[in-house]
Chain A
């Protein structure tokens, strides 16, 4: 079967299946499905990378909002940290979306590949547990960022550190999100967990909460530029949503360590392929 000669029905079903698997793996491993969607569409379905980014961005909003709804209710994500840092991510996302129109598609593919390689590295590495400080940071206190969250052992309080560094990293995360159509959850978690010393659980859930707003900031620009195709975005969005919702249901029963490793290898290979195709001018 030649991929270029598919009918609308065939493409819809194949893309739906691929997106559902991406969403499922993304949610089981916590790496997000967006990061493999664009390579899947460009490398296997030969979709132009601009259409692929538009479709991916839309699916990122769907999964982020769906998952965030649950976490917000549990009181783990910190709405103030999220809102404050969203100033940085949305500004970055607008910049990224403008850059996407200026930069060649080959360059976008190479940057995408580099981000994939970095994500694979991050997920394969064992995370260093950082102790959060006991002394409050004056800027974080002024901005009312310190918070608490429920744990099985009771309410745990935490103090936020290094606000300017976190804010700058978030701007970068937003720009990558807008340029590549991904959630860039990995960079967001890096900014909160490593730079700002926010507890890991709060970082991941707050990151998830922010991804939708960040993606919406560039999605508007992509829509008005004609990058969001309904025929392609439809199976991508419905597939990723179905996959990630299934993932959150079965999360508890699955051994994720091996899955994470396998997914990291897949991401690594896709990253290398994106860089190769970008450098060879095939994308």
Chain B
């Protein structure tokens, strides 16, 4: 019989993975935001900046599909917004990873708790618009 060696999922290991995920998520988001800033400032740096009156962002910077489209057509504001979206997604990914970790530890109660948190986060990200 073939033995499959699975990595041991201890709290310690999950904590290490979570730590790495958070760090790389923030780093990646900051890099994308910075790249967007370079494009945005190069093109619009000299224009007047005014945030005194609230207009709300246009549709293409409010939805995930819109942001992706703007970013891939190399719009500075779209790239920045993609970075911010990655940043918002980092804690969401952390919660998803925790579900995997709790499941591997056969902790059904905490799989349930983490799933509830993930559902609330996904609702906020996708369901509220």
- Contact flag A228-B22 (CB < 8 Å), given A7-B45, A83-B114: no
From residue 70 to 103 of chain B, which have CB atoms closer than 8 A to chain A? 76-78, 80-81, 84-85, 87-92, 94-95, 98
- B68 contacts A by Cβ under 8 Å: no
Residues of A within 8 A of B19 (CB): 68-70, 72-73
Residues of B within 8 A of A84 (CB): 110, 113
- Contact flag A216-B92 (CB < 8 Å), given A226-B61, A229-B57: yes
C-alpha spacing A263/B17, complex, angstroms? 35
- A201 contacts B by Cβ under 8 Å: no
Residues of B within 8 A of A94 (CB): 120, 123-124
Query: Which among A22-30, A44-52, A113-121 touches the partner chain?
Result: A44-52
From residue 31 to 61 of chain A, which have CB atoms closer than 8 A to chain B? 41, 45-48, 50-51, 58, 61
Residues of B within 8 A of A228 (CB): 57, 61, 81, 84
C-alpha spacing A279/B44, complex, angstroms? 36
- Closest-CB distance, B114 to chain A (whole angstroms): 5
Residues of B within 8 A of A215 (CB): 91
Other-chain contact of A65, B77, B90, B128 (Cβ < 8 Å)? B90
From residue 1 to 50 of chain B, which have CB atoms closer than 8 A to chain A? 11-12, 14-16, 18-20, 22-23, 25-26, 29-30, 33-34, 36-37, 40-41, 44-50
Q: Is there an interface contact between A220 and B22, defined as CB atoms closer than 8 Å? A: no
- Closest-CB distance, A107 to chain B (whole angstroms): 15
Q: Is there an interface contact between B40 and A230, defined as CB atoms closer than 8 Å? A: yes
C-alpha spacing A61/B94, complex, angstroms? 12
- Interface of B, secondary structure class, is helix
Chain A interface residue bracket vs B: 35 or more
- Closest-CB distance, B16 to chain A (whole angstroms): 6
Q: Is there an interface contact between B46 and A86, defined as CB atoms closer than 8 Å? A: no
The chain B residue sitting closest to A98, CB to CB, is: B128
Q: Is there an interface contact between B50 and A83, defined as CB atoms closer than 8 Å? A: no
Q: Is there an interface contact between A83 and B113, defined as CB atoms closer than 8 Å? A: yes
Q: Is there an interface contact between A61 and B52, defined as CB atoms closer than 8 Å? A: no
C-alpha spacing A229/B77, complex, angstroms? 9
Per-position 1/0 for A73-115, Cβ under 8 A of B = 1010001100110110011011001000000000000000000
Other-chain contact of B25, A65, A221, A224 (Cβ < 8 Å)? A65
Other-chain contact of A213, B29, B51, B57, B91 (Cβ < 8 Å)? B91
C-alpha spacing A79/B114, complex, angstroms? 11
- Contact flag A87-B117 (CB < 8 Å), given A69-B20, A237-B87: yes
Q: Is there an interface contact between A69 and B11, defined as CB atoms closer than 8 Å? A: no
Other-chain contact of A48, B52, B116, B128 (Cβ < 8 Å)? B52
The chain B residue sitting closest to A78, CB to CB, is: B11
5 A–B contacts from the bound complex (CB under 8 Å): A65-B23, A87-B117, A90-B120, A213-B92, A232-B51
Which 5 A/B pairs are nearest by Cβ-Cβ distance?
A: A220-B124, A226-B56, A224-B129, A230-B80, A220-B125
> Which A positions have Cβ atoms within 8 angstroms of B?
4-12, 41, 45-48, 50-51, 58, 61-62, 64-66, 68-70, 72-73, 75, 79-80, 83-84, 86-87, 90-91, 93-94, 97, 143-144, 212-213, 215-221, 223-235, 237-238, 241
